[in-house]
Amino acid sequence: MKTADVFLPVISVALIYLVRVIELGTKRDTVPGPIRERVTLRLFILAGTLMVVGGTIEFWVRRRTLNGWTFGAGWICALASFVVRRKAISALGKFWSLHVEIRENHQFVQTGPFRWVRHPTYLSMILELASVGLILDAPGALLVVSLLFVPALVMRLQLEEAALVEKFGDAYRIYQRTTPALLPYKFPRAK
């Protein structure tokens, strides 16, 4: 067993986590607005932290070494997550927020990744959690963290969708019908 096979996955996940923490702390030129709730952000941070810690523990306890396939797939997810999130933040500009926060002069954004999905930042979060589970080859941690993350995501999506419908009305309802929420694929509906 090579040292790199043991430490490269853990160092990779630490790097992904560090980049995310730095990004969360980055000051941006945003317009403040009323925050609708604060619980889901805390749950997202908790889920991400538990994924890193739990995944690392699973990696060490199960005496894993580098699995080239899951490691590569994990890095593809991580890079996709970074790109999608950066493009979404850029498209939202001064209206981007960590919270459900609709401003008085909020603009309806349908550019960048918002052309393909209504919530690209949440898609990036899913990709990021998956990347950690894949890099560490830690399906158990990914499953356990999903039990916290999925309900928090559903709650956040419901709050945000309601706030956007309240702000933009029929324009947003049309966007809901024509643009998928998270995955850039419109699944056929039963008639």
pTM: 0.90
Q: Average pLDDT in the 4-14 region? A: 87
Asked whether residue 188 is assigned to any structural domain, the reply reads no
pLDDT more than 70, % of the chain? 95
Structural domains counted in the chain: 1
Q: Give the mean model confidence (pLDDT) for residues 151-163.
A: 95
Question: Does 184 fall in a domain?
Answer: no
Is residue 190 one of the residues assigned to a domain?
no
Supply the range of the domain harboring residue 22: 3-178
State the angle between helix axes of 39-61 and 3-25 in degrees (0 to 180), rounded to the nearest 10. Answer: 170
For residue 64, give every residue at least 6 positions away whose Cβ sits within 8 Å of its Cβ, in sequence order, or none: 9, 58, 136, 137, 138
Q: Is residue 102 part of a domain?
A: yes
Region at 87 (left for phi over 0; alpha for psi -120 to 50; beta for the rest):
alpha
Q: What are phi and psi of 101, to 5 degrees?
A: -145, 100
Please report whether residue 191 resides in a domain.
no
Check which CATH number belongs to the domain holding 141 and give it: 1.20.120.1630
pLDDT at 188: 61
- Binned at pLDDT 50, 70 and 90, residue 190 comes out as low
Residue 90: inside a domain: yes
pLDDT tens digits, one per residue of 78-136: 999 999 999 999 999 888 888 888 888 889 999 999 999 999 999 999 999 999 999 99
pLDDT score recorded for residue 34: 78
